[in-house]
Structure formats: structure tokens, C-alpha cells
Amino acid sequence: MRSPQGFRNGESPSPHNRIPTPHFHNTVTLRKLKRFNSLILVFRVTAFTFSLASSVFMVTNSRGSGSPHWFDYDAFRFVFAANAIVALYSLFEMGVSVWEISTGSTLFPEILQVWFDFGHDQVPAIKIKIEIKILNLS
């Protein structure tokens, strides 16, 4: 008799001897995961809102034709570009969070999704550090 584990020792599974594996879902764990993902979505919406608001305020801030504008200074152009990049990234991550909440699965395989989120969540932190340093130098 063949083993019910089809991939043991390099064998390919037989389509005739399949034993369906039950899918166990703990409802408490699923509720906690959905609540955690909803909290992440709230943080992503907040990051998007503040980054977008900062970019919009910089673009619409005008003092008159005789005074200098924000785009005359390299530091403020960098801050605007950084805020725009973070706003776009946050918009993408909001979509990924909505996808994860609605479907119950990650967009990428889970280990890749964790590294993707961790790596890209460093961008706003680095942006803030660089902005503080640049604004203190100018």
C-alpha cells in the first residue's frame, strides 16, 4: 500500500489515492488576525493622509510673486519628493491591507510579504531622519 503522503521521497502524488485534508480554522485566531489587519489599515490610512496633506500644503503654499517659494530650495524639494513617495507607497500598502482583510490571504507568499512590509516600512522612518537632518542644516 502506498503512503498517503504523496511527495515522500520525490514521488508524485497519485490522483486516485487522494485523502482530503481537513482545513481547521480557529475562529478566535481569525478574529484577532482580522482586528490586527484592521489596525494596520488604520495606521496606513493615517500615514497616507499626513503625507498627502504635507505634499498638498507645500505645493499650494504661496506668499506672493516677490517672495521665494519652496521649490527654490533643494531641501524643501527633497521633502516634497519624499512626502509624495511615502504617500504613493502608503496608498499601495492600503490596497494590500484591504486585499488581506477581504480575502484572508496575503498578496505575496507570507514570508515574502513579511519581508516586503518590513523593508518598505523603513522608508518613512528613514525619510523623517533625513528631513530633520536637512532642515537643521539649512
What residue type is assigned to position 106 of the chain? T
Check residue 8 and give its pLDDT.
45
Check residue 77 and give its pLDDT.
83
Other CB atoms within a 10 A radius of the CB of residue 47 amount to 19
Check residue 23 and give its pLDDT.
57
Residue 104's region, left for phi above 0, alpha for psi from -120 to 50, else beta, is left
DSSP code for 6: T
Check residue 111 and give its pLDDT.
85
- Report yes or no: 70 and 58 within 8 Å, Cβ to Cβ: yes
- CA angle (106 as vertex; 125, 47 as ends), nearest 5: 30
Check residue 49 and give its pLDDT.
94
Question: Can you give the pLDDT of all 138 residues of the chain as single tens digits?
Answer: 444 544 444 455 555 555 555 555 677 777 888 888 899 899 989 989 998 998 898 888 777 677 777 777 777 888 888 888 888 888 988 998 898 888 888 888 888 888 887 887 787 777 777 777 777 765
Return d(Cα 54, Cα 56) in angstroms, integer.
Answer: 6
**105's grid cell:** 490571504
Q: Which is it for the CA torsion 52, 57, 58, 60, positive or negative?
A: positive
